[in-house]
Copies of this chain bind each other. A is one copy, B any other.
Amino acid sequence: MTEALARFSINQMTVKQLSLPELVAACTDLGIPGIGLWRAPVQSYGIEKTAKLMRDAGLTVTTLCRGGFFTEIDPHARVKAIEDNRAAIDEAATLGTDTLVLVSGGLPAGSKDLGGARERIADALAELAPYAASRGVRLAIEPLHPMFASDRCVVSTLTQALDLAERFPADQVGVCVDTYHVWWDDQAPAQIARAGRGGRLHAFQMADWVTPLPEGVLNGRGQLGEGSIDMREWRGYVEGAGYGGPIEVELFNEALWAGDGKELLAETARGYLRYGSPAGGLSG
């Protein structure tokens, strides 16, 4: 099944019950060629050590998640955020990935000013984008579902993400498209095309939309095929826009985390083949 999985990447958060060595071994066993890493577990294990682990196994680091959280007003908090994002860029470079995914941040406590928060993201990108480029890293603004607008990410649509990204060179700032966050938006297909034309389609992630949403709405993403999103349709949009890169499956789901990590990884790969690949992927 290696050929059919050539584009597949597992986002580390999907199988967070696995340690990094367990995850790398399981990917090797299952023929999974790429992993989207998260900063916290990589920092715990060691950044250089993670880079070597991945390299020695012949695995690709498809993205690093995540920089961002640019919306604070307090000057000290802003300086700290910029410093932390420089560190994230350095970590991405050390890990050998060209893409740092950005979750831009929600409203500061007490603020009701979405427009102002979005403008502060642009200010932060102006400081960070040239530095990222100097390290060979592209920043990928990820619009999050509007249900996260107040507490996690004031960038709610691909239109907004591209309006921000296009203030900077395409090789410095682009977007990350995640089906979970954009599937409801009838303007998203045209915005994917816009991103493709501009060379700003920097990452593509899949997760399915299932209801009822859990309290806090963060950890209720479904396995591909279990929800409302036609994964092939969205894959078609990004490929139609010229995207030929990795396809990460990124699920946050308490029930899935409670089970065996390697089984979950195999199940996720099967879901990708069945629902996220061109028809016939399973036999490929």
Give A residues with C-beta under 8 Å from B.
107, 111-115, 118, 145-147, 149-151, 156-157, 159-160, 183-187, 209, 211-217, 227-230, 233
Contact = CB atoms under 8 A, between A and B. Distances in A.
A216 B145 CA distance: 16
Given A118-B186, A159-B187, 9 more contacts: A111-B228, A112-B229, A147-B147, A147-B213, A149-B183, A149-B184, A151-B212, A214-B215, A217-B217
A216 B210 CA distance: 11
Q: Which 5 A-B pairs have the closest CB atoms?
A: A149-B184, A147-B147, A146-B184, A150-B228, A112-B230
Contact of A217 (B159, B213, B229): B213
Contacts of A151: 211-212
Contacts of A215: 212-215
A229 B150 CA distance: 9
Q: How many copies of this chain does the complex contain?
A: 2
A146 B185 contact: yes
Contacts of A160: 186
Nearest to A147: B147
A147 B146 contact: yes
A49 B214 CA distance: 40
Contacts of A157: 185
A213 B211 contact: no
A110 to B, nearest CB: 10
10 contacts: A107-B228, A112-B233, A114-B183, A146-B185, A149-B184, A149-B209, A150-B209, A157-B185, A212-B215, A215-B215
Contacts of A149: 183-184, 209, 228
A112 B147 contact: no
Contacts of A185: 146, 156-157
A184 B230 contact: no
